[in-house]
Amino acid sequence: MLRLPWFEYRAPSTLAEAVKILAGEGPQAMLVAGGTDLLPNMKRRHQSPKVLVSLKGIAELRKLNGGYGAGLTLAEVVAHAATPSALRQAAAQVATAQIRNMGTLGGNLCLDTRCTYYNQTEEWRKAIDYCLKKDGSVCWVATASKRCVAVSSTDTAPALITLDAKVKLVGPAGEREIPVEALYQNDGIDYLSRKPDEVLSAVVIPSGWRSTYWKLRRRGSFDFPLLGVAAALKMDGDVVTDARIALGAVASRPFRVDKAGHFLKGKRLTDEVIAEAATLVANRAKPMDNTDMDLYWRKEVADDFAGYALKELRGDDMRAVRIRTARYLPG
């Protein structure tokens, strides 16, 4: 089997202790929560931290009052009755049941960016002389690119962006709160604005949004997203009073499509309005050939998925489409 590299394992029981260890060890330390992303990546030598700081034993990270503790498992987030639709749907469609039982909300938000030239073993990457993201000098997706274009594959982030959620980051200097969108940078290598000595501790989600999340992938049973569309609306009768739409898996970060949100404000969700909004959303989808399936096709169907999301929020019965495309029905 693939073997992990050697590492030192630390298991603090408080957030303060974790922050202290991080500050002391510097960049050679990494945080691990569920380990469902990091440990396979370590086996492939994407990361070889000297010290792993486990967040498992920190009770504060598993709280559910005021905000969602970053250490809650995705299964717990799904099971929690008050979880908003978009987040529940996104969390429910991450990987498999087994992984959702281990993987955490914070872990999914901090998920390493992915690329078909990167998510391979050390031996495989050696055979292509590595790539820009790790140990190499060329981006094989776009050989002229100076920037790594690895794709953000978190499902929960676009959902939380539409919900106008914020994340809490705890560091040596104390706690700060930033919008989820601000956690990300459009760089496949340096994709998080989290400082190395900070711990993402909680997510704070305002209420009042009607929201949904649609995920495109080849297999409904489990896969990373090829496209994630999250949408949240506030309505007055059948008129949209506020709208937030976000995309995942089409850039190195999840992002909000402001144009579409502005466009929807004050409108009724007619077929024409939905079609136009969907086009505005799709125009921002610029997928690269760094994940599964045909790149042009992924671009072409972005408006369809944006349309599905808005139609579902309008109240259309979208269950048949859900089953066909995702083998998933929101509970």
Partner 1 sequence: MNETKKRLDVIGMPRRRVDARSKVTGQLRFADDLALPRMLHAKLLRSPHPHAIVEAVDAEKARQHPSVKLVLTGQDFPVPFGIMPVSVDEYPLARERVRYVGDPVAAVIAVDEQAAVEALALIEVRYQVLRPVSGPQDGLEHPEPRIHDYGEQGNIHRNQAYEFGDVDEALRNADFVAEDLFFYEGNTHLPMEQQASLAFLDQDGKLQISSSTQNPHYLHRQLARVLQVPESRIRVIATPNGGGFGGKCDPGGHEFVVCKAALVLGRPVKIGLTREEVFYVHRGRHPVLLKMKTGVTKEGKLTGMHLQTLLDGGGYGSHGPASTFYTGVLTPVTYHYPRFKFEACRVFTNKPACGPKRGHGTPQPRFGQEVQLDKIAERLGMDPLELRLKNLTKAGDLTASWLRVGSTGLEDCLRKVGEMSSWKAQHGKLEKGRGVGLACSTYMSGAGVAIYWNKMPHSGVQVLLDRSGTVVVYCGATEIGQGSDDVLAAIVAETLGVDTGSVRVVSGDTGITPVDLGSYSSRVTIMAGNAAVQAAERLRASLAAAVCETLGTLPDRVVFSQGKVFAADNAGAGMSFVEAVTMAEAQLGTLSAVGSYSPPKPPGRYKGAGVGPSPAYSFSACVVEAEVDERTGWIHVPKIWIAHDIGRALNPVLARGQVIGGVYMGLSEAMMEEQSFRRLPEKLSGALVHRAPSMLDYKSLTALDMPEVEVALIEDPDPNCPYGAKEVGQGPLLPVMPALANAIFDAVGVRVDEIPVTPDKVLRALEAKAAGKAARVGPESYPSVPYPEPIFVLPPWEGGDGNESRKGGEKRAAAAMV
Go through 218-248 and write b for each residue having 16 or more CB atoms within 10 A of its CB, e for each that does not: eeeeebbbbbbbbbbbebeeeebebbbbbbb
> Which CB atom, from 242 or from 292, has the smaller least distance to partner 1?
292
The Cα–Cα gap between 200 and 165 comes to 13
Region of 52-60, 248-256, 278-286, 323-331 interacting with partner 1 (CB under 8 A): 323-331
Taking the least distance from each CB to partner 1, the nearer of 43 and 147 is: 43
Number of residues located near partner 1, criterion CB under 8 A: 34
Beta-bridge partners for 227: 216
> Which span (16-24, 50-58, 193-201, 294-302) binds partner 1, by CB under 8 A?
294-302
Q: Is 317 in the site for partner 1 (CB under 8 A)?
A: no
Q: Establish how many alpha carbons lie within 13 A of residue 203's alpha carbon, considering only the half-sphere containing its beta carbon.
A: 29
What torsion, rounded to 10 degrees, do the Cα atoms 303, 117, 156, 180 define? -100
Binding flags for partner 1, 21-40, as an x/- string (CB under 8 A) = --------------------
Q: Does residue number 296 form part of the binding site for partner 1 (CB under 8 A)?
A: yes
For the CB of residue 144, give the shortest distance to partner 1 in the complex, in Å.
11
- Span from 52-60, 153-161, 173-181, 290-298 in contact with partner 1 (CB under 8 A): 290-298
Q: Which is closer to partner 1, CB of 123 or CB of 258?
A: 123
CA pair distance 142, 96, nearest whole angstrom: 31
Q: Which two tokens stand for residue 75?
A: 């299964």
Q: Does 121 bind partner 1 (CB under 8 A)?
A: yes
Binder among 41, 85, 119, 154 for partner 1 (CB under 8 A) = 119
The radius of gyration computed from the CA coordinates of the chain, to the nearest angstrom, equals 20
Q: Name the residue nearer to partner 1 (CB basis): 134 or 244.
A: 134
Tokens for 214? 């649609």
Among 67, 196, 220, 330, binds partner 1 (CB under 8 A): 220
Between 82 and 219, whose beta carbon lies closer to partner 1?
A: 219
Residue 272's Cβ-count burial label (10 Å; 0-12, 13-18, 19+) is exposed
Strand blocks (E) in the chain = 8-10, 29-32, 51-54, 68-69, 166-171, 174-179, 199-204, 210-216, 227-236, 239-248, 255-256
Is 214 near partner 1 (CB under 8 A)? no
Find the binder of partner 1 among 20, 279, 293, 316 (CB under 8 A).
293
Contact 33, 99 (CB under 8 A): no
Considering only residues 130-159, where is the footprint of partner 1 by CB under 8 A?
138, 140, 143
Q: Are strands 239-248 and 227-236 parallel, antiparallel or unpaired?
A: antiparallel
Chain centroid, CA 10 distance in Å: 26
Q: Write down the least CB distance from residue 97 to partner 1, Å.
A: 10
Give the binding site for partner 1 (CB under 8 A). Answer: 1-3, 116, 119-121, 123-124, 126-129, 138, 140, 143, 218-223, 292-294, 296-297, 300-301, 304, 323-325, 327
